[in-house]
Amino acid sequence: MFSTSRRTIAIVGLAGVTALVAGCTTGTSGGEGTDDPPVTLVFGHVHSESDPSSRALQQAFDQIEEESGGSITIDVSYDGSLVTNQDSLTAIKSGRADLGWSVPNYFPAELPLSNYFSLPFSLASAEEMAVVIDAVTANSDALGDEFRGAGVEAVAFYPNPPSILSSREPMDGLDAIQGKSMRALGDMAIAIGAAGGNSVNLPIQEVYQALDTNLLDGYVGLPMANVPTFSLNEVSSHIYDAGIGTYSTSVVIANSAKWDSLTEHQQEIVRGAFQDAVATYLGNNSAIEDEVCADLTAAGVTFDAWSDADREQWAAIASAPAIANWKQRVEDAGLDADGFLAVVDEAKAGMNPDDAGLNGVERCAAA
């Protein structure tokens, strides 16, 4: 049974979201007085130290060192200097870093099940995503097995808020996408194509230059709070809630050999710390979005929400093809798409979407 309370979702309903191994607990006492060997874990982060994700991760890093009594030290490389979005699976699997931040929609073939969380028009909020991941992981270890099959250990899932649609020129309804070049990853590209646009698959770090040189008219596939991280407001000053749904889940992954080399006690400390940080990540999101709203509005960025009619029309022409494409990839991988969707639908049926409240763009547009 899943509560539809925003507070309950964010604080209580996260066991399955972050703990992919049965029996994992949140936080663990330990450290001094244990026989754990000292170890340094290198964490490769694709984002900057000021990114919202880094605020939550720093909590986990501090907690790991404290609870291990210093037996575990975290060495962090930021800004994609060691691990990038598009090579995070390879980088962690090969041992270039021991831990890292990975986004499954860069890997539709390797992580087909996990790409559900970036399907357009499927999930409306990070809170809804948290409940769905909770239900899926409680039902089976299919997500964990998928990452192990890709050569890494999934340590914690971080549910992300909805994607914005942003553009250099006003794009205040569905017809405005016609003929435009839009950055879109994975199945969100299907939504752009259904609206008559041209999708361009680019890592987020390359979007600024593409916008600045007029190679792109706009982009989807980024939460509002991350816009300042990449300074995209400087080259794309119109931000919309177009109802496309959640961007993706982000996942802290570990090199399998390094993970197995940790003692069980150390694994519990690491997993528990990242689990605690998920609750912080969700709990801080609204405040960070409101800060971004104030800063970007002052810098001349406009915020608006598409009409219900445009949102519904886009969902009507794009949702079914995107789901069909996802199901085919899942089934080609020998996995049970229908069984996965049945668990998802049951979890969603127990929620009231309105309980999540307005998202960041909606709040900013109404301010």
Least confident of 14-28, 57-71, 314-328: 14-28
7 found inside a domain: no
pLDDT of residue 356 exceeding 90, the answer is no
Contact 241, 361 (CB under 8 A): yes
C-alpha of 98 from chain center: 20
211 found inside a domain: yes
- 35: which DSSP letter? -
**pLDDT tens by residue, 93-114:** 999 999 999 999 999 999 999 9
- DSSP of 54-68, one letter per residue? HHHHHHHHHHHHHHT
pLDDT of residue 17 exceeding 90, the answer is no
Least confident of 1-10, 175-184, 237-246, 314-323: 1-10
The 3-state DSSP class for residue 98 equals coil
Closest CA to 116 of 133, 100, 102: 133
**pLDDT interval class at 282 (50, 70, 90):** very high
CA distance 69 to 29: 9
Q: How many domains are contained in the chain?
A: 2
CATH number, position 328: 3.40.190.170
Extract the tokens encoding 198: 């041209």
Do 207 and 269 belong together in one domain?
A: no
CA distance 254 to 235: 35
Closest CA to 98 of 255, 250, 253, 252: 255
Contact 269, 336 (CB under 8 A): no
| β-sheet bridge partners, residue 303 | 239
pTM of the shown model: 0.89
Please tell me which residue, 8 or 157, carries the higher pLDDT value.
157
43 found inside a domain: yes
Do 266 and 182 belong together in one domain?
A: no
Do 107 and 57 belong together in one domain?
A: yes
Contact 293, 231 (CB under 8 A): no
* 79: containing domain: 13-23+36-160+247-288
Mean pLDDT of 17-38: 53
CA distance 273 to 279: 10
Q: How much is the mean pLDDT over the chain?
A: 90
